[in-house]
Amino acid sequence: MKNFQENCGLFGICSPDACVQDIYQGIDFLQHRGQQYCGMATYGDEGILQVTHYGKVANTMTDTDIAYLKGRSGIGHVSLKERQPVMWRSKLGEVALAFSGNIINAKALMQEMMARGMVFYKGYHIEIISMIILNAGDLVSGIAALAEKVKGAYSLVVLSQEGVYATRDVSGFRPLCLGRGEGRFAVSSESRALHNLDMELVRDVRPGEIVLVSPNGFKTLKQLPAPRPAYCAFEWAYTASIDSILEGVYVQEARNRIGAKLAQRDLDEGGLTADIVAPVPMSGIGHAIGYHIQSSVPYQEVFLYNRYADRSYTQSTQMAREQMAKRKLSVLRYAVKGKRIILCDDSIVRGTQILHKVKDLKQAGAREVHVRVACPPLMYPCDFGISTRSYDELAARKYIPKGNIACMDDLRALENWVAENIGADSVKYNSLDDFVAALGIPEGELCLKCWNGMHPE
């Protein structure tokens, strides 16, 4: 489990009619959150029925699967790492569970459980969560026990005879929201799945809240003490789909504001003349549009996005990431030759992909390439979700081995070093203050550990 990484999408629904088509579409609309595994489970007259596959929803779920999954309530999952939902027959009845997140103390929990005679198949984090829940007196008590025992992040859906239980950890690291429409009640990692199923976004599940989604609607069964929210800021910059709303903030608007901050810095500091501003698709688009609006530099696509490729950042190995990056984008040469280009990207993690993008543009005849990065430099591994697992993966740490960026002079020195290493004419990141201001969410409600190293308390 040392290299375990998790990025997942969750969906659950209770419907007056067969729900499998809604689950299928729901997780298909969340496919950007994980492309390697998918699964669905439903509850009907035959109890829980389950199907999981290696691959994308549309490529692997068959008509036979759809016909098999009978029931009016169910859950679905897309993942980077493993097959979910998992199904159990227990003293609490038949249940199926799926989660998104990362358990920091997974190894210690599993060792403690095995010492008490519990067994594990592969030691997946969802197994640990399942054992904690199913060994309690009831599902609500078991879900509540996660807050006491688990260190880390989780959003969770549990399918049972009563409906779909939904919860978030007490800090709310991973997103989860509720929706309704035409007698249907649903829970989803992102609102885009609800909107595209003609459902209304009702609200976000509160950190530490345990909600039952049933044919009667939503019922808060328990609200655990929640010290303060710690929403993952990276969701708005990269992970979430641009048509989603998280914690009341439109992802598209947040990205536009983030890009506008980059443009304003260039305007304030002066000395840059460019012909076009362009994105690294897809997550760079919102940032580039924001830069364009603020600066009045013409917007122009310079890469053709291969819609059949996956997100390179959410691949499970570096080799897979690099191969996917090469498949994902090709240069629009007519738009590039002789141009001074401002290239907007969401983040620089390892630096390999942006190096190739700059090289591709220069080889296609770009006169200058100025890279503008929405996120501040990533300085710390992520404990709570996908992102990185070691300092060795972070490009910024190759220049600043220890400590933080204390002032703008530190940031500019790093930017110059990055520009030299990737072959760009210049590189600028958003400062952490500008990035947070652009999100429109108070700093005290965000997890910024990737940038400042501070674990939310």
DSSP 443: G
The pLDDT of residue 403: 92
Supply the pLDDT for residue 268: 98
Query: For the segment 362-390, what is each residue's pLDDT rounded down to a tens digit?
Result: 999 999 999 999 999 999 998 886 555 68
Is-contact 177 203, C-beta < 8 A?
A: yes
For residue 162, give Cα distances in angstroms to 142, 355, 406.
Answer: 15, 52, 52
At residue 3, the pLDDT reads: 34
Q: Is 8 a catalytic residue?
A: yes
Confidence band of 1 (pLDDT split at 50, 70, 90): very low
Q: Which of 8, 38, 177, 450 is catalytic?
A: 8
Tell me if residue 255 falls in helix, strand or coil: helix
Helices (DSSP H) in 157-315: which residue ranges? 191-195, 234, 251-269, 284-295
Tens digit of each residue's pLDDT (9 = 90 or more) over 76-98 = 999 988 999 999 999 999 999 99
pLDDT on residue 392: 86
Q: How confident is the model at residue 67 (pLDDT cuts 50, 70, 90)?
A: very high
Distance CA 132, CA 149 (A): 8
What is the pLDDT averaged over residues 292-319? 78
Reading the block at residue 277, the tokens are 């501003």
In angstroms, the CA 371 to CA 342 distance is: 6
The pLDDT-based confidence of 422 (bands split at 50, 70, 90) is very high
Mean pLDDT of the chain: 93
pLDDT, one tens digit per residue, over 104-144 is 999 999 999 999 999 998 899 999 999 999 999 999 999 99
| Identity of the residue numbered 294 | Q
Average pLDDT over residues 337-349: 97
How far apart CA 269 and CA 63 sit, in angstroms, is 58
What integer pLDDT is reported at residue 320 of this predicted model? 56
Q: What is the chain's length?
A: 457
pTM for the complete prediction? 0.92
Residue 31 CA to residue 252 CA, distance in Å, equals 18
Tell me the per-residue pLDDT of 142-198, one tens digit each, with 9 for 90 and over: 999 999 999 999 999 999 999 999 999 999 999 999 999 999 999 999 999 999 999
- At 2 the pLDDT is 31
